[in-house]
Amino acid sequence: MDAMWGTFILEVYRRQHARDVRDAMERVLGLESASSWSTGGVYVFWNPDTREPLYVGITGDLPERFAQHNGLRGCPASGCKRDQITQYFAEECDWLGYTVIALSSLSQPSTRRQRDSLGLRDPELIELNEALSAEALDEIRALEGRMIALYAQQFGKPLRWNTSPGRLSRVSPSAEDGTLATAVGALDCLLQARKTIRRLAEDPEAMMFEEHLHGARITAVRAAILNGQGFRNDRLRRILDAAGRRRSSATRS
């Protein structure tokens, strides 16, 4: 399956603002947002002062999982980082970075809330829905594993909050592509949304702009990062210019 990810949406928040971030994520990525992004994807917690990635995770429902990690709703024992986040705010820093690597809505995983919204009750229909989302899950698991493996390769140790090695246990020594640096804001590039999650939720025009850019970012990821060539802003600018010329040509014809 071709990659359907490409947009990094960054946010930095204090503990008392976690609910505001969750509500903004519902408006940007939730099932009722009507955006062109999936509700699921890869996410990263990181320290804004040091730019250290703390945790790379995946979920089919980003707003729901964020709420669980931040103590806003019940949290399953497996993979929950509520204790780590509580300790982080108490002992380490008063703000926490959070990044979503958004997927296209064509890569929508099957989730409880998604099935409820579709009115799926029949076991056979639920099974079909889950089968259709299998490729999306494979995609985000592969990206999660790649980022975890890249960190271990670069720093010689696992991410502090990750207990699993992820899908990929090994990567090529030359595989570093800037994905982690982009996720924590250490690298400024055009794969990153120009506004934070909360700002996007308040600005419909900016949302439309980022959704338009998402297609070009997907193309840039396919052409550069996944082929081991690395990412450059000029590559994305060329893709956008080419897309603009195609639209102009179609309008004239």
3-state SS class at 22: helix
3-state SS class at 119: coil
Gyration radius of the chain's alpha carbons: 18
Please classify residue 12 by burial: count the beta carbons closer than 10 Å to its beta carbon, then call 0-12 exposed, 13-18 middle and 19+ buried: middle
pLDDT at position 118, please? Answer: 55
How do residues 168-199 score in pLDDT, each as one tens digit? 545 554 555 688 999 999 988 889 999 999 99
Confidence of residue 237 (pLDDT cuts 50, 70, 90): confident
Question: What is the average per-residue pLDDT within 96-109?
Answer: 86
pLDDT at position 169, please? Answer: 47
Strands 96-104 and 5-13, by their bridges, are antiparallel
| Start-end of H helices in 92-178 | 112-118, 123-132, 134-155
Q: Show me where the domains of the chain are located.
A: 5-252
Angstrom distances, CA of residue 59 to CA of 1, 56, 102, 110, 218: 19, 11, 11, 10, 20
Question: Which of 102, 130, 113 is closest to 41 using CA atoms?
Answer: 102
Output helix, strand, coil percentages for the chain, rounded to the nearest 5. 50, 15, 35
How do residues 16-54 score in pLDDT, each as one tens digit? 999 999 999 999 988 777 788 888 889 999 999 999 999
Mean per-residue pLDDT over the chain, rounded: 81
pLDDT at position 173, please? Answer: 47
Confidence of residue 251 (pLDDT cuts 50, 70, 90): very low
Distance CA 97, CA 238 (A): 31
pLDDT above 70: residue 81: yes
pLDDT at position 27, please? Answer: 94
Question: What is the average per-residue pLDDT within 67-82?
Answer: 88
